[in-house]
Amino acid sequence: MQRTRGRAPSGGRAGALSQELIVGAAVVLLDEHGERGLTFRLLAKHLNTGPGALYWHVTNKDVLVALAADQVLGGAFAADTYPEEDAGSGLRALAIAVFDALDRHPWAASHVNAPPTLENALRLLDRIGTLVARTGLPAERHFAVSTAISYYITGISAQIIAPRATPDATTSRDAFLAQTAERWEALDPADYPFLTRTAQDLRDHADRDQFITGLDMLLDGLNTAADPRPPA
């Protein structure tokens, strides 16, 4: 990968470094310490080198975290070896793989670009668009539909997962949902009929199931738009 700035390091351990190696180590440390706990000093110690050598390959921490998130994203679909898979099934499997990858690395969820600019984010959108193009959808709708699916996958994943990565969070997910459900239950059913009726569902729901429910609705709409014939 292209170097980002600075002068070449002179000899020693730094010469063995690469951006890929640094980013991989950053993923490990981000999983362990979170985004706030990652420093170039800690990373340099982990890689047995000096902080200055890292800056030769990565400009700053923001760039490093973005690259680390993109590496996590790439791992989500690196094993996809079914290019002839049905478009709908392929989109569903791809979306769930991305959600699961970000769920394993919660700090990464809010750093996946939309619109994409980094390598694996670009590959994700291209793979979505390639699958959408296999449907019967008119070509002039491919861009709008593909980007909508991409935004759902990355945006909803971030909204569901990212709050769990907040370093100063003092309330667990279950406790937060329980507190919110109690607040819903205390509302006036005449003013909030849906919220009071579904408070228990909020307390008990699984994030992954919620993601898949919305995904399936989105893909059902795609199937209908691609093949609008009424059922026999």
Q: What is the pLDDT of residues 63-84, one digit of tens each?
A: 999 999 999 999 998 766 555 6
Give dist(CA 208, CA 131) in Å, integer: 23
pLDDT tens digits, residue range 147-172?
A: 999 999 999 999 999 877 665 555 68
How many CB atoms neighbour CB 161 within 10 A? 22
Percent of the chain exceeding pLDDT 70 equals 85
The pTM score is: 0.85
Answer with the residue of higher pLDDT: 147 or 230. 147
CATH classification (class only), 71-169+210-226: mainly alpha
Give the residue among 102, 121, 80, 231 at the shortest CA–CA distance from 161: 102
Q: What CA–CA distance (Å, rounded) separates 202 from 198?
A: 7
- Topology of the domain comprising 12-59: Arc Repressor Mutant, subunit A (1.10.10)
Q: What is the pLDDT of residues 105-143, one digit of tens each?
A: 999 999 998 788 999 999 999 999 999 999 989 999 999
9 pLDDT more than 50: no
pLDDT at residue 81, as a whole number:
52
pLDDT digits (tens, 9 = 90+) for 40-57: 999 999 999 998 899 999
Within the chain, all domains assigned CATH 1.10.10.60 are found at 12-59
| Residue ranges of the chain assigned to CATH 1.10.357 | 71-169+210-226
| Type of residue at 218 | L
Task: Give the whole-angstrom CA distance, residue 116 versus residue 107.
Answer: 18
